[in-house]
A and B are shown apart, each in its own frame.
Chain A
Amino acid sequence: MEKGGGTAGEQSPQRVLIFSTVFISDVGIDLAGSSHMRYPPSSIAIPLPCSSGIKPEWILYALQHGFDGVFIAADGTDCPFVPDCTSRTAKIVDDGQKLLIEHDIKPERLKMAAVCSVCAEPFVKHMKNFQESLKKLGPTQGAD
């Protein structure tokens, strides 16, 4: 795979698994593509119904199986299911980071941000910034 995850010639793409949400953030990620905004192709989304339903174990599993970072594209205040989705998802991130620490993985490899259905630009920015911060950490190879 071409390294750099964004422009040809760069080194070491950091592999990011995105947990997106069917009704909200996946629509925002689609909009980024429809608008031909570029973000690293080493970022791949698995859509779920709601970010409050993500299991911390999935985050650990992804980081132990080939991904360098996990980005939760949360519903935030736009969640159609629960008004307190942000705090519920934040709790999952908190639990997830504790789990990562227990398994010698740096908690910075997990990031969460609300991505609304028209948040194409912020999403792309998050992807680029996360890619940069992951580059500093280097690949996980299952543990840090």
Chain B
Amino acid sequence: MSERRIGVYICYCGGNISDFVEVEKVRDAIENEEGVKVAKTTMFACSDAAQQEMINDIHEHKLDGLVVASCSPTLHTFTFRGVAERAGLNPYQYVQVNVREQVSWAHTDLKEQATEKAIYMVKAGIAKVRLTQPLKKTRIDTVPRTLVIGAGISGLRAAIAHSDLGISAFVIEKSDRIGGWVSEFGKMYPHNRLGSDLITELSEEIKKRENIHIYTEAEILTKSGSVGDFDVKIKVKNEEISLNVGSIIVATGFVSYQPSEGEYAYGADGVLTLPDFKELIDNSKGEIIYQGKPVKNVTYIYCVGSRDSSGEKGHAYCSRYCCNAAIHASLVANDISSELNQFHIYRDIRTYGKYELLYREALQNGAIFIKFDEASPPRVEKSNGRFNVQVKDVLTFGEEIEIESDLVVLVTAMEPRENKAMNDVLKLPVSLDGFFKEIHPKLRPVETVIDGVLIAGTSQAPRNSAESVAMSLAATSKSASLLMKGYVELEPLIAMVNEDTCVWCGKCSEACPYSAIEKISSGEKEIAAINTAQCKGCGCCVPVCPENALAIKGYTDEQIRAMIDAMEVLL
């Protein structure tokens, strides 16, 4: 018999669970399970009263394990870990069983089966708790300093925001100047302020602060330590500098898609990418002159390099910023020369939110919008110094339209910047699109699986400057919440090695994406050792071990088998 003393609480969730699951029947089915000392139902397990009741029970019955069958663990894992901690119970001896999202709400028409499923799941939860060990988080004192990689608008804004909160910021920038793309831009949407002015403003703010240090022509060389206390080495020109920081914000930006030679006649004089066109109009006054000739007709071709995975260079994703940016550029061009004829050849116009106003203004100014089909892209031919753009207009049932143009502007995609050297150091996950990947786009949008390394701006995905700054401030909030507390605690649900069975073959180390496994000597043999600060608990090392010597704490062989066994009994 188990010597464990487990408390089990099954939640009604005010009817969300109990309307479709016979909660009392679940309690009756599990109350005599091995090790169960307390089995109760509760109207709202997350209520203060229910939490206090659990704490009282843990004290009174000397419980050493806790199971709460309620909603999704994404909602209340930390709530009930907190209950356990307040009662003096190790929080990793608590298991949450999801009988709401995965039972009552999914099987609303099958109460009997839903009840039985809930019973299996609670029994499996009890079986898992029975095999839990007290685990201890690793506590690390944090240093109130951050490293910002990239001195574009996102990186600079993050540095200032950290400074505002009393956290020192070291900003490293690969190029020889700060400001990134925005410093090169003239009028930007939606406010029509000059990009160069925005960067100057941020630069002036930085000069006022003693706790921001900027290094240009700098890159990261090494990183060690963990969240809250990273030791990084950077190279600034030819000098190496060591820094000790608590967090790292990656804001390395994007590169603009470079069309292939001949793609929509690219390479011919007069076929420009959107950044090139912006530069042209930013430097134009009175009228737009290209290579000595006044420009009368401009044709924009959208989605160049975006939403196209068929070619060698195209990208399946929508670059998101470009419809707005192209239409705004056309408005700026119209302000310079209202005589200009402008033609927008698009697949779909995605001027979302308030940017719809830009689209409306362009229409009101007389711009012509022509929709083409992906299967029938426009063709661009050069003759007599001008361009003949031919397009089938979807909205007039395939009518062939020819446009004589002085300039053809290719509305080009945002591409991820090549960051191999940096990422060999940081080891951040990268999406298939090539951008850095957050843990979850909605629930943890600026965090990466490397604790303390946060992503911002267009290093994460195509977006405009306002959205980039919003994300850099979100990353700052997350960074500050780690650093201002003074310490962080690392999750203990990481890999562990059975030293008796490990014979060091190195396969685990090869499989580990975080270089968290190294070879050490143990007595007369060599074995694998886990770097607890580096390991993220993914478990990639577990199935590759031929000696069965690795496991993730909380997901051991014994626990998985016990959960399956617990469900077999009923099945």
Q: Are A44 and B121 interface neighbours, CB within 8 A? A: yes
A67 touching B560 in the complex, CB below 8 Å, given contacts A30-B72, A52-B539, A55-B542: no
A-B contact pairs, 5 of them (CB 8 A): A2-B112, A31-B101, A58-B560, A77-B431, A117-B440
Cβ–Cβ contact B102 & A29, under 8 A: yes
Task: Tell me how far the C-beta of B571 lies from the nearest C-beta in chain A, rounded to whole angstroms.
Answer: 4
Q: Which of B104, B114, B542 neighbours the largest number of chain A CB atoms within 10 Å of its CB?
A: B542
Nearest B-chain residue to A30, judged by Cβ: B101
Query: Which residue of chain B has its CB nearest to the CB of A62?
Result: B564
- A137 close to chain B: CB less than 8 A: no
Closest to A47 in B: B73
Say whether, besides A81-B540, A88-B540, A23 and B107 are in contact (CB < 8 Å). no
Interface check A115, CB cutoff 8 A: no
| Min CB gap B228→A, angstroms | 20
User: Which residue, of A27, A44, A56, A77, has the highest number of chain B Cβ atoms within 10 A?
Assistant: A44
When the two chains form their complex, are residues B493 and A33 in contact, meaning their CB atoms are under 8 A apart?
no
Most buried by B among A41, A45, A57, A62: A41
Kindly provide the distance from the CB of B153 to the nearest chain A CB, expressed in whole angstroms.
Answer: 26
Among B106, B537, B555, B564, the one with the most A-chain Cβ atoms within 10 Å of its Cβ is: B106
Is there an interface contact between A52 and B98, defined as CB atoms closer than 8 Å?
no
Interfacial residues of chain B within 110-154, with CB under 8 A of chain A in the complex: 110, 112-114, 116-117, 120-121, 124
Mask of A24-53 contacts with B, CB within 8 angstroms, 1/0: 101101111110111101101111111011
Q: A66 an interface residue at 8 Å Cβ cutoff?
A: yes
Given contacts A65-B564, A67-B571, 18 further A-B contacts (CB under 8 A): A8-B110, A13-B113, A26-B72, A30-B74, A33-B106, A34-B101, A36-B108, A41-B103, A46-B560, A50-B538, A53-B540, A53-B542, A58-B557, A58-B560, A65-B565, A80-B440, A81-B536, A82-B513
A73, B46: Cα distance in complex, Å: 29
**Would you call B113 and A42 a contact (CB within 8 A)?**
yes
Which residues from A are CB-within-8-Å of B104? 33
- Asked if B113 contacts A82 (CB within 8 A), the reply is no
**A92 contacts chain B at the CB level, 8 A cutoff:** yes
Binary contact readout B514-541 vs A (1 if CB under 8 angstroms, 0 otherwise): 0000000000000000000000111111
Q: Is B314 an interface residue (CB 8 A)?
A: no
Q: Quick check: B543 and A54 within 8 Å, CB to CB?
A: yes
Min CB gap A76→B, angstroms:
10
Q: Which chain B residues numbered 504 to 519 have a C-beta less than 8 Å away from chain A?
A: 511, 513
Interface residue B552 (Cβ < 8 Å from any Cβ of A): yes
The reply to whether the CB of A100 lies closer than 8 angstroms to some CB of chain B is no
- In this assembly, does B437 line the interface, its C-beta being within 8 Å of a C-beta of chain A? yes
B1 adjacent to chain A (CB < 8 Å): no
Does B432 interact with chain A (Cβ within 8 Å)? yes
Distance in angstroms from B116 CB to nearest chain A CB is 5
Contact A15 to B538, CB < 8 A, known contacts A67-B564, A80-B448: no
Q: Determine whether B344 belongs to the interface, using a CB cutoff of 8 Å to chain A.
A: no
B543 close to A36 (CB less than 8 A): no
Q: A37: shortest Cβ distance to chain B, in Å? A: 7
- Which 10 pairs between the two chains have the least Cβ-Cβ distance? A53-B539, A66-B568, A33-B101, A30-B101, A33-B106, A81-B538, A33-B105, A41-B113, A66-B571, A50-B538
For A8, the chain B residues whose CB sits under 8 A away are 109-110
Contact of A37 among B74, B106, B110 (CB under 8 A): B106
Do B429 and A83 touch (CB < 8 A)?
yes
Contact mask for chain B residues 72-112; partner A; CB cutoff 8 A; 1 contact, 0 none = 11100000000000000000000000101111111111101
In this complex, the interface size class of chain B, counting residues with CB under 8 Å from chain A, is: 35 or more
A136→B446 CA distance, assembly (Å):
46
- Measured CB to CB, the nearest residue on chain A to B543 is A55
Expressed in whole angstroms, the Cα–Cα distance for A83 and B442 within the complex equals 19
Contacting residues of chain B (404-436) with chain A, CB-CB under 8 angstroms: 429-432
Contact status B114-A41, CB under 8 Å: yes
Residue from the list A7, A15, A80 in contact with B437, Cβ < 8 A: A80
Total A residues in contact with B, Cβ cutoff 8 Å? 55
| B120 CB contacts on chain A under 8 angstroms | 44
Q: Which residues of A contact B563 (CB under 8 A)?
A: 46
Q: Could you tell me if A45 and B102 are in contact, using CB atoms closer than 8 angstroms?
A: yes
Taking CB as reference atom, which chain A residue is nearest B447? A80
A29 partner, pick from B101, B117, B124, B557, beta carbons under 8 A: B101
* CB neighbours of B113 from chain A (8 A): 1-2, 5, 13, 41-42
Give B537-567 as 1s and 0s: 1 = Cβ < 8 Å from A's Cβ atoms.
1111111000000001001010011011101
- The residue of chain A having its C-beta at the shortest distance from the C-beta of B74 within the complex is A27
* A50, B511: Cα distance in complex, Å: 13
- With a cutoff of 8 Å between Cβ atoms, the chain A residues found around residue B448 in the complex are 80
Interface presence of A79 (CB below 8 A):
yes
**Interface check B165, CB cutoff 8 A:** no
What's the Cα separation between A33 and B568 when bound, in Å?
Answer: 24
Q: Is the CB of A50 within 8 A of B110?
A: no
A80 B439 Cβ-Cβ under 8 A: yes
> Given the known A-B contacts A33-B101, A80-B437, are A2 and B121 also in contact in the complex, defined by CB atoms under 8 Å?
no
The residues of B that contact A53 with a CB separation of less than 8 Å are 538-543, 552, 555
B98–A30 contact, CB under 8 A? yes
Interchain CB contact under 8 A, A23 and B439? yes
In the assembled complex, how far is the CB of residue B525 from the closest CB belonging to chain A, in whole angstroms?
A: 24
Question: Nearest residue in A to B568 (C-beta to C-beta)?
Answer: A66
Residue from the list B109, B513, B571 in contact with A81, Cβ < 8 A: B513
**C-alpha spacing A40/B448, complex, angstroms:** 34
Provide the A63-94 mask, 1 if CB < 8 A to any CB of B, else 0. Answer: 00111000000000101111100001000100
Chain B residues contacting A57 (CB-CB under 8 Å) are 557
- Chain A residue nearest in CB terms to B120: A44
* Contact of A56 (CB < 8 Å), options: B107, B116, B543, B567: B543
Known interface pairs A65-B565, A81-B538; A33-B102 also in contact (CB < 8 Å): yes
The smallest C-beta distance from B434 to any residue of chain A, in angstroms, reads 10
Chain B minimum-CB-distance residue to A2 = B113
Bound together, the chains give a CA A40 to CA B437 distance in angstroms of 33
Q: Are A27 and B102 in touch, CB under 8 angstroms?
A: no
B229 within 8 A of A: no
Q: Are A80 and B539 in contact (CB under 8 A)?
A: no
> Can you name the residue of chain B whose Cβ is closest to the Cβ of A68?
B571
Q: Whole-angstrom distance between the alpha carbons of A26 and B121 in the complex?
A: 15
Residues of B close to A92: CB separation below 8 A: 543
CB distance from A45 to the nearest CB of B (A): 6
CB distance from B491 to the nearest CB of A (A): 10
Name the residue in A34, A36, A53 with the highest tally of chain B Cβ atoms < 10 Å from its Cβ. Answer: A53
